[in-house]
Structure 1
Amino acid sequence: MKPLMQIHFRADIVGLSIWFGNVNYLFPASIRTPILQGLTGFASPGELLAIMGPSGCGKYTLLNALAGRLEPNTRQAGEILINGHEQNMAYGTSAYVTQDDAFIHTLTVRKPCTTRLSSCCRIPCRGQTRKRAEMTIREMGLQKAMNTRVGGWGSKGLSGGEKRRLSICIEILTCPKLLFLDEPTSGLDSAASYHVMKSIASLNQRDDIGRTIIASIHQPSSEVFHLFQNLFLLSAGETVYFGTLSAANLVTPSLFFSYYS
């Protein structure tokens, strides 16, 4: 098998397309049956791609492969190209949001955002740092909670959905052109899930960055599902369907509804 090529994008290009072809993945390397088998697809700037399928189908593994986060003791094959190039990722132009919302309970919403900006960006003055942080907080719909403490066990604070949006907010402070999200609605009720995904979908409507957004997601509601433009449906590490949401029910209705009915 051909070695998996490293993910790359060029910072001078507005909008980043990611294409992957015949991606296979084995973990650990001694296992003969691939966890991912011959996957091919793409994601385009300004669009949301949902990676879906039953538990254990390889959603998390595919997301990590595309984000360049796979373990070193694995066997990988296939191609992953960013704007047609096979080079390394540059810092700050991609972001990855995990399922875990880890914050210091006593901090306000604004504080972790300004701290992150100060540590990773060369912004000349504190006022500009604060302004940029507040702009991003508003993008994620957290402006009313800007001075609210995160909270935790035994103390009032943000709701689960607000904490998830804060996690996303911190990761998009550098204006990444590629955004990867691992189960962004995990542990949330239907209303909170919709607000989180609606905030994510709205990102590309508020600026001209043209983000490419890829999310693994499990059994979303109909409202959340239709916020995506494209779908990659997996089963046992293999492709069941890849294409637009509008064509998904027409092409594979029986396969699709067998997983999510």
Structure 2
Amino acid sequence: MAASPLPRWAPTPSPSRPLRLTSSTIVTSWCSWSSCQLSPIFFPRRSSEPSTPSPANGVAGDWREESRVSEVFLTWEDLSVTATNGRKGHVVILDGLSGYARPGEVLALMGPSGCGKTTLLDALAGRLGPSMKGRGDIMINGRREKLAFGTSAYVTQESVLMATLTVAEAVRYSAQLQLPDSMSPSEKRSRADDAIKQMGLAVVADTRIGGRVSKGISGGQRKRVSICIELLASPSLLFLDEPTSGLDSAASYHVMSRIARIAQRGGMTVVAAVHQPSTEVFELFHGLCLMANGKTVYFGPAAKAIEVRLRN
């Protein structure tokens, strides 16, 4: 999928950092990952004109095309988050992060445990707890504004599904509660059934979800049900916290490939915190934000991250 040029309001690296300009990127000098010092940060050069989002490649009968909402270009600049600690005072969790997520693409947040992936996800989604304080700019399509209700969805790492319901029942009940009253019950049911098909769950639609006590669907299918429920309202922006956690390589690929396909078809912006993806899953990501100790050590196209590491 060809990347569209960046709008003129896309973030740039901090001017206080030593930079050297190359033909297509702005790069800092490479430092060792283990030293946790600042390593390359890649930002595509600004375009002279704002980008006009190209139409997504829709598919006939795609429910996301029928209920398509405005696309969201999410940007953040000089974003920092501090947490209040009784003994240590204020602890810096995120320190001066900048980046963006484009419509129709999947941005992966990666890094070692405790580097701040989930905190960044929470900050962008407006879900920071009362003990945390954020500072910096988070913009929606170049404007400092909050996401409208129903514009974004957040899938947590923990499953909150009822084990006694079947897949179809869980999604249909959620559709009845989430979707507006302007839709008839039959329309809501149709939306739910279409979402089930989109996430590849039709074969287990009548199977109970199950849990620790009762046997049910697999872990990968359970994760897809959680995502399916959040996709019912056709959000423009989807946040995923560890969507492949606890899944094997095949199940992880099945989950992320469905997400990438829906994002491209419907123009949805996806930001996912991911830990140790397989090569096949990594190749599904369009952008990569690599983090360490609350800082960005690489930001740019996921495909170029490996090239840069090998070259240096």
TM-score by length of 2: 0.74
Counterpart CA distance in 1 for 2:229 and 2:223 is 10
Measured after TM superposition, the shift of residue 47 of structure 1 is 0.4
Task: State the alpha-carbon separation in 1 of the partners of residues 92 and 213 from structure 2.
Answer: 45
1:25 alignment partner, one of 66, 81, 84: 81
Deviation at 1:13, TM superposition (A): 6.7
Which residue identity is paired with 1:62? L
Deviation at 1:246, TM superposition (A): 2.0
Q: Match for residue 152 of structure 2? A: 94
Q: SS at 1:81's partner residue? A: strand
Quick one: distance in 2 between partners of 1:129 and 1:13? 17
Q: Are the equivalent residues in 1 in contact too, given 2:243–2:274 (CA < 8 A)?
A: yes
Report the equivalent of 1:9: none
Summarize the alignment of residues 194-213 of structure 1 with structure 2, pairs less than 5 Å apart: 194-206=253-265, 209-213=266-270
Amino acid at match of 2:160: A
Most deviating of 193-202 and 51-60? 193-202
Aligned to 1:16: 72
Partner Cα distance (2:77, 2:276) in 1:
26
RMSD: 2.0
Within the alignment, does 1:65 sit opposite 2:135 as a pair? no
Residues 100-119 of structure 1 mapped to structure 2, 5 A cutoff: 100-119=158-177
Verify the 8 A CA contact 2:171 2:229 in the aligned structure 1: yes
Query: Larger relative contact order (C-alpha < 8 A, sep ≥ 6)?
Result: 1
Cα deviation 1:48-67 (Å, max 9, x = unaligned): 00000001111110111111
- For 2:307 and 2:212, locate their aligned partners in 1 and report how far apart those are by CA, in whole Å: 47
For residue 115 of structure 1, what is the amino acid of its counterpart? Y
Structure 2: 5+ residue runs without aligned partners? 1-67
Contact 1:241 1:252 in 2 (8 A): no
- 2:311 pairs with 1:251: no
Identify the residue that residue 7 of structure 1 maps to in structure 2.
none
- Residue in 1 aligned with 2:64? none
1:95-244 equivalence runs, <5 A: 95-123=153-181, 124-206=183-265, 209-244=266-301
- The Cα shift of 1:254 comes to 8.4
1:4 is matched with: none
Show structure 1 runs of 5+ residues with no match.
1-11, 256-261
Which of 84, 91, 100 in structure 1 is aligned with 2:142? 84
Superposed displacement of residue 75, structure 1: 2.5
Q: CA deviation at 1:158?
A: 0.5
The CA distance in 1 between the partners of 2:213 and 2:90, in whole Å, is 49
Q: Secondary structure at the match of 2:92?
A: coil
Larger CA Rg, structure 1 vs 2 = 2
Aligned partners of 2:288 and 2:300 also within 8 Å: yes
Query: What secondary structure sits across from 2:118 in the alignment?
Result: helix
Q: Is the 8 A contact 1:15 1:211 kept in 2?
A: yes
Aligned counterparts of 1:253 and 1:52: Cα–Cα separation in 2:
18
Kept after mapping to 1: 8 A contact 2:81/2:93: yes
Report the residue type matching 1:237 in the other structure: G
Closer/same/farther in 2, CA of residues 106 and 140 from structure 1, 3 Å limit:
same
Structure 1 residues 175 and 106: CA distance shift in structure 2, 3 A: same
Tell me how many residue pairs correspond in the alignment.
Answer: 243
1:16 maps to amino acid: V
Is the deviation greater in 154-163 or in 56-65?
154-163
